[in-house]
Structure 1
Amino acid sequence: MPLKRITVHVAPEDLAIIKAAAERSGVSASGIMREAIHRAARSRRVWGEPLDAPRFDSGDPAPARRMEIAEEGSGAREKP
């Protein structure tokens, strides 16, 4: 994927930490910043719709109840 050039303002102390980490790890400072931006972007992503996995009746109510409990905790589905 092609990269887009941007300008980012960084505190001198943070830049020194990034450069030191880059030197220690053998990765460019740009690579460290790209990874940080990627992680920040993914951690704040909002998904439009919950995953709607196919369902089937196994005849055993226990797995269905475990799934309901998991969904309640995730906020993936609202109760009717």
Structure 2
Amino acid sequence: MVAAASGTAYAVVVPTTAPGPGSWAGAPSAALDVDGGFVVAYRVRTSEQRGSATFVGLAPDGEHLTPVARLDK
């Protein structure tokens, strides 16, 4: 999953879990938290398991994401 860090620069916030087709991290949704950071929900998929998991993470600076919850399929 890629997010705009500032201006036209981008950063990989969540890498894929495995190389190759069918593995990705994305479909993000974000909201501001009370401290001015972001709460981000995103999905992770592997080629072996569709809809592997949904994660919720905190990104105080919008770029460095710390997962805080995992919801399995």
Could you say whether these structures have the same fold, taking a TM-score greater than 0.5 normalized by the shorter chain as the test?
A: no
Q: Which has the higher contact order (CA 8 A, sep 6+)?
A: 2
Structure with the higher fraction of residues in helix conformation: 1
- TM-score, length-normalised on structure 1? 0.24
Greater Rg, structure 1 or structure 2?
A: 1
TM-score (norm 2): 0.25
